[in-house]
Amino acid sequence: MNAENMNANEKLMMPRRAFVRGLTALGLLPLAGTSGLASEPPDAPAAGGLQNWPAGDDPHYWSWIRQQFSMPPDEAYFNTGTLGACPRPVLDAVVDSMRDLEKTIARYDYRPEHPEYIAGYRPQEELRKKAGGILNATGGEIALVQNATMAINFISNGLDLKSGDEVLLTDQEHPGALGPWDLRAKRQGIVVRKLPIPVPTPDPETVVKIFAGALGPRTKVIAVPHIISRHGIVMPVRELCDLGRARSVFTLIDGAQAVGQLRVDVKKIGCDAYACSPHKWLLAPPGNGLLYVRQDRQRDIWATLASAHWNDYEPATGLFRLMQFGTANAALLAGLDAALDFYLRIGPEKIERRIIGLADHLRAGLQKIKGVTITSPLHPALAGAMVTYGVAGATGRELQDELWNRKKIRVREQGGPLVRQSVHLYNSPEEIEGTLEVARLLAANKP
Ligand SMILES: Cc1ncc(COP(=O)(O)O)c(C=O)c1O
């Protein structure tokens, strides 16, 4: 079979390099193009393509990246903390996959060599390997699930815990990270302790001390966010996992906000499990989730959803056991695959540097405005690309609406006086300046 006759689902099953070679031979990709990116702008450097594009703050580079997204150029999107925008190559991968399925559905013959047209029944080894790569995990240590909530539920429900066993959380969990433990508390009597994290959080040591002081003989699990969603606090997860490991406490990190924002290395963090939602900072289509469980802790986790392979403990299949959710949409996996390509092609380090730089610009500007309060941490070890703040005299809703009505800047209000501004690679220094202008104006007009 050649690439021309393949549908997107078949392509997903094919080793990436062979697929790209096929497309290039057919003239469907530029020679430099293993990138999954849409065509370069006319003023792109002639030689070397994206590979040799100037790094860092070159305005052409980032404005070209911005052109890969479907939002109108005058709209500034700062709500990746809720949902990332998909770049065009990702959107195309999803739509093409669905179109191909509908055109060729009658050819689906269930033979093992025929590509699967639905997700939920095959181990998807190639994609798990690629996804694992960005976390420094093996493919066998990754389950493809549907979001962080599902991943966290699989851990909370899958662990053998009994009445009186304690789980340590923060007092600032997202409901998708709190509900799974509260459910077990109500049903089986485990004890959920929500440790108060000060806002603003002064330094990592304060957080570590809070957890060290709460650990006791009944503690069986530490489950914390890598980045707390409301105030964007980057937690000292490595130190917290060190605490857990020293006492054989299971550690689960909720990385819904972290993967794609910061570089994540689960081996360096030393956690037993890590959950994430690639539809946020990795810019994958909604409906994708990743769950990592380190190989030597996988036997501690029972399956929650059971189908043919729920009891498959073959080392070769790894966490396929936790992917038993029945029929799902293969197009979303095609989108995840394309999102991983997009992320890797630009480079995790480059993305992190760019967006933390922009968020620092925002933090520095806000700090200079009298009447602005920043509740996100300013300590560099705790500060990421999400900044939560308020302007005296305005509610969060008013601030959100002023930013939109004056500058088409979309942030998300956080209740009370606060808004959260999530800075990603489609944002620009001009958009940050626009934000500061509105904040200055509001602060000047309020008592
Ligand atoms: C820290 C954190 N955990 C978990 C979730 C739940 O993510 P999802 O709805 O993708 O499962 C979110 C969503 O915003 C979050 O911010």
Question: 399 CA to middle of ligand 1, Å?
Answer: 24
Q: How far apart are CA 11 and CA 23, in angstroms?
A: 11
* pLDDT-derived band at 46, boundaries 50, 70, 90: very low
194 has which bridge partners?
Answer: 169
Locate the ligand 1 atom nearest the alpha carbon of residue 225 and give its number: 1
pLDDT at residue 251, rounded to an integer: 98
Number of helical (H) and strand (E) elements in the chain, helices listed first: 14, 15
pLDDT score at 56: 53
- Ligand 1 center–CA 319 separation, angstroms: 21
Q: What is the pLDDT of residue 37?
A: 52
- 261 CB under 6 A from ligand 1? no
Which tokens is 411 given? 């942030």
Q: Measure the CA angle with vertex 99, ends 98 and 103; round to 5°.
A: 120
pLDDT at 446: 72
Q: What type of residue sits at position 149?
A: T
- Could you list the beta-strand ranges (E) of 120-272: 142-145, 166-170, 191-195, 219-225, 250-254
Cβ of residue 257 lying under 6 Å from some atom of ligand 1: yes
Query: Given pLDDT bands bounded at 50, 70 and 90, which one contains residue 116?
Result: confident
Contact 8, 96 (CB under 8 A): yes
Which of 7-11, 65-69, 72-76, 160-164 is predicted with the least confidence, judged by mean pLDDT? 7-11
Q: Is 293 helix (H, G, I), strand (E, B) or coil?
A: strand
Best mutation site among 79, 153, 229 for ligand 1 pocket (most ligand atoms within 8 Å of CB): 229
Q: How far is CA 399 from CA 358, 390, 392, 442, in A?
A: 20, 8, 10, 8
Work out which ligand 1 atom sits closest to the CA atom of 81: 14
Query: What is the CA(281)–ligand 1 centre distance, in A?
Result: 11
Q: What is the mean pLDDT of residues 280-297?
A: 98
DSSP 8-state symbol, 334: H
Pocket test for ligand 1, best of 144, 257, 336 (most atoms within 8 A of CB): 257
Residue 122 pLDDT greater than 60, yes or no: yes
- What average pLDDT does this structure show over 52-80? 82
pLDDT above 90 for 361: yes
Average pLDDT over residues 97-109: 93
Q: What is the residue with the minimal CA distance to atom 7 of ligand 1?
A: 148
Pick from 155, 147, 177, 154: which is nearest to 289 by CA?
147
Q: How far is the CA of 174 from the centre of ligand 1 (A)?
A: 6
Q: What pLDDT does 23 receive?
A: 32
Predicted pLDDT of residue 236: 98
Give the lowest-confidence range in 53-67, 218-232, 346-360. Answer: 53-67
Residues 409/72, Cβ–Cβ less than 8 Å: no
The radius of gyration of the chain from alpha carbons, rounded to an integer in Å, stands at 23
Q: Is the CB of 146 under 6 A from ligand 1?
A: no
Residues 6+ apart with CB under 8 A from 130: 16, 139, 337, 340
Question: Which pLDDT belongs to residue 447?
Answer: 61
- Residue 147 in contact with ligand 1 by CB distance below 6 A: yes
Q: What is the pLDDT of residues 240-253, one digit of tens each?
A: 999 999 999 999 99
Q: What dihedral angle (degrees, nearest 10) is formed by the CA atoms of 268, 281, 367, 401? A: -160
pLDDT of the residue at 115: 79
Arithmetic mean of pLDDT, 210-230 = 98
pLDDT at 423: 98
**Distance from the alpha carbon of residue 228 to the mean position of ligand 1, in angstroms:** 10
Give residue 374 CA to ligand 1 midpoint distance, Å. 22
Residue 237's nearest CA partner among 251, 245, 226 is 226
**Using a 6 Å cutoff on CB, does residue 254 contact ligand 1?**
yes
Please give the pLDDT value at position 138. 98
Contact 335/284 with Cβ under 8 angstroms?
A: yes
Best residue among 144, 230, 257, 277 to mutate for probing ligand 1's pocket (most ligand atoms within 8 Å of CB) is: 277
Atom of ligand 1 nearest to the CA of 173: 1
Give 176 Cα–ligand 1 centroid separation in angstroms.
6
Greatest C-alpha distance within the chain: 72
Give the per-residue pLDDT at 27: 29
> CB-hemisphere CA count at 13 Å for 89?
22
- Distance (angstroms) between ligand 1 centre and the Cα of 240 equals 20
The yes-or-no verdict on residue 371 having pLDDT over 90 is: yes
Q: Average the pLDDT over 166-191 and give the result.
A: 98
- pLDDT value at position 179? 98
pLDDT grade for 254, boundaries at 50, 70 and 90:
very high
Which tens digits make up the pLDDT trace of 386-407?
Answer: 999 999 999 999 999 999 999 9
Per-residue pLDDT at 169: 98
249 and 195 Cβ atoms separated by less than 8 Å: no
Closest CA to 267 of 409, 137, 430: 137
pLDDT tens figures, 183-192: 999 999 999 9
Residue 405 three-state SS: helix
| Minimum-distance ligand 1 atom for the alpha carbon of 280 | 10
d(CA 16, CA 12) in angstroms, rounded, equals: 8
Is residue 344 predicted with pLDDT exceeding 70? Answer: yes
Q: What is the pLDDT of residue 272?
A: 98
Q: What beta strand segments (E) does 255-408 contain? A: 273-276, 289-293, 328-329, 372-374, 386-391
Nearest to 119 by CA among 286, 333, 328: 328
Taking residues 9-14, what's their average pLDDT?
A: 44
Ligand 1 in contact with 149 (CB < 6 A)? yes
Residues 131, 290 contacting (CB under 8 angstroms): yes
Q: Given this model, what pLDDT does residue 55 score?
A: 54
Higher per-residue pLDDT: 91 or 41: 91
State in Å: Cα 282 to ligand 1 middle.
Answer: 13
DSSP conformational letter for 84: P
pLDDT at 277 over 80: yes
Which amino acid, residue 323?
Answer: M
Is any ligand 1 atom within 6 A of the Cβ of residue 153?
Answer: no
CA 347 to each of CA 47, 94, 201, 343, 405: distance values in angstroms, whole numbers, following the listed order: 20, 22, 30, 6, 34
Q: Report the chain's mean pLDDT, rounded to a whole number.
A: 89
Question: Which atom of ligand 1 lies at the shortest distance from residue 151's CA?
Answer: 11
Q: Which of 82, 169, 174 to mutate to test the pocket of ligand 1 (most atoms within 8 A of CB)?
A: 174
Centre of ligand 1 from the C-alpha of residue 40, in Å: 34
Strand 289-293 with 191-195, pairing: unpaired
What are the pLDDT digits (tens) for 60-69?
889 889 988 9
pLDDT above 70: percentage of residues in the chain: 87
Phi and psi of 64, rounded to 5°?
A: -65, -45
